[in-house]
Structure 1
Amino acid sequence: MQLTIHPSIFAKIPDFKLGLLYYNKTTVSASPQMLKGRLQLFQEQLYFELLDKDLTDFPGLTEWQTVVQSLGADPLTSPSTLETRMQEIKEHNYTPSFHSAEDLNTFFSLQYELPSVAYDLDKIVGNIELTVGTTEDGYMGLNNKYNTFTNLLLLSDDYSPFGSPHIDSMRTAVTEESENVLQVLFIHPSLDMSSAFQLTKSCGKMFTSINGGDFRSSVLHAHKTSCTIEKEVEQ
């Protein structure tokens, strides 16, 4: 399986970076109390911080809005999962625990101030490409609505679009039956390569420390626009 970033993205955002994590033979389940408590505490801390701050006072969120603008979309009408979660926290509406993979996904997103998404790799068909969506691109999302992705980043496989830093599709959602998981980190373009690799690996280590299995990581950028994801074959 190949994952490739379309050249048009680098034409608009030369320093664009994508952190990739492939988790093999992982076990998704109800989150341990430690993770639930850590996620709850982190959201409570953010809530009190947001009493005196606007969302635009967070550098990571502001940089992501700049990315959306560079692609030709309006960040006010096309919030990322990160901005949606931050706005909900500001309104004292915390993201509840779902399962160990999604809770970690939420934690990484809030901790590093970047959109983080995860997909069941066994539900993905063929190769993956990250492109800029058009008026014809869309899918049924986890918000139970049909979403379109005009001028927004969009992940597609050989079957159809399935993922975005704005809302994910039902088709590739991670469940407690998932064993092979692909996590995608939309890393800040301003972050240097060394820090991008370190951030990606740190997420992988924490994910596998809770869910088991092992992970492989990679960071795609202008000089490395694709990578191969090789799933282990059952013997």
Structure 2
Amino acid sequence: MEIKISSNLASKVPDFKIGFITYENIEVGPSPQMVKGRLQLFQEALFFDLEEKELTDFPGIKEWREIFKMTGTNPSRYRPSVEALYRRVKKQNYLSPIHSAIDLNNFFSLLYEVPIGIYDADALSGDLSIKIGGSPDQYPGLNGRVNSMENMIVSADDDGAFGSPYVDSERTKVTEDTKHAIQIIYLQAKTPIKEAKQLTKSLMDMFLEIHGGEGSFSVLEG
């Protein structure tokens, strides 16, 4: 499975980049106490930070709002997923444990201030592309709605759009039955390549420590 960044996205967002990780033979289950503890403690610390700061004082949220604007998405109506997480924490509506893959995904999204998607690779077909969506691109999302992804950044396979730094699809969600997965880190465009690779590898290593299996990663730039 290969992934590419489309020209229509690269032309609108200079230096757009992602971290791309593939996992094989993983075991997803209830999060170990270490993961649940880290997620809870980080949210509690972030809550006090958010009492003194605006959301746009966080570089990742500020940059992802700008990226949405550059691609034609109103970030006040369709918020980057990381901003949605931060808004929950600001209201003390803390994220509850779901399972190890989602909990770790949310932890790193909060930590790195970027949207991160994790997807069941067995639900995907063919090679992948990240592009600006058109009118046919829509899907039932994890937010419980059918989401039109027109003029929004989307990840797509041969069967259509399945993910986005806004909201991901039901079709490719990871469950405790998932054995093979991919993870897309929608990086800050300003992140230097060397730092982007270190960040992506760090995430992969912790994921493998929790879930077993094998992994490989790459960083792509538009």
Are residues 1:7 and 2:7 paired?
Answer: yes
1-10 or 12-21, which moves further after superposition?
A: 1-10
- Output the amino acid matched with 1:144: G
Q: Distance in 1 between matches of 2:122 and 2:135?
A: 28
Equivalenced residue count is 222
2:193 is matched with 193
SS in 2 for 1:51: helix
Are residues 1:31 and 2:31 paired?
Answer: yes
- Output the amino acid matched with 2:93: N
Cα deviation, 1:121-173, whole Å, max 9, x if unaligned, reads 00101121111012332100111110111221111111121111111111100
Percent of paired sites with the same residue: 42
TM value normalised by structure 2: 0.98
Unaligned regions of 5+ residues in structure 1, if any?
223-235
Please provide the CA RMSD for this pair.
0.9
SS in 2 for 1:220: strand
Q: Distance in 2 between matches of 1:136 and 1:122?
A: 23
- Output the amino acid matched with 2:184: V
4+ runs of 1 displaced by more than 6 Å? none
1:204 is matched with 204
Q: Distance in 2 between matches of 1:146 and 1:107?
A: 26
Q: Distance in 2 between matches of 1:189 and 1:168?
A: 21
- Output the amino acid matched with 2:217: S
Are residues 1:159 and 2:168 paired?
Answer: no
Unaligned regions of 5+ residues in structure 2, if any?
none
1:217 is matched with 217
SS in 1 for 2:73: coil
- Output the amino acid matched with 2:116: S
Residue 10 (structure 1) shift: 1.2
- After superposition, where does 1:27-66 map in structure 2 within 5 Å? 27-66=27-66
Are residues 1:122 and 2:122 paired?
Answer: yes
1:111 is matched with 111
Residue 89 (structure 1) shift: 0.6
Cα deviation, 1:56-100, whole Å, max 9, x if unaligned, reads 110110011111111111111110110111001101101110000
- Output the amino acid matched with 1:75: P
1:81 is matched with 81
Q: Distance in 2 between matches of 1:16 and 1:130?
A: 10
Q: Distance in 1 between matches of 2:88 and 2:51?
A: 13
- Output the amino acid matched with 1:187: L
SS in 1 for 2:77: coil
1:180 is matched with 180
TM value normalised by structure 1: 0.92
- Output the amino acid matched with 1:100: S
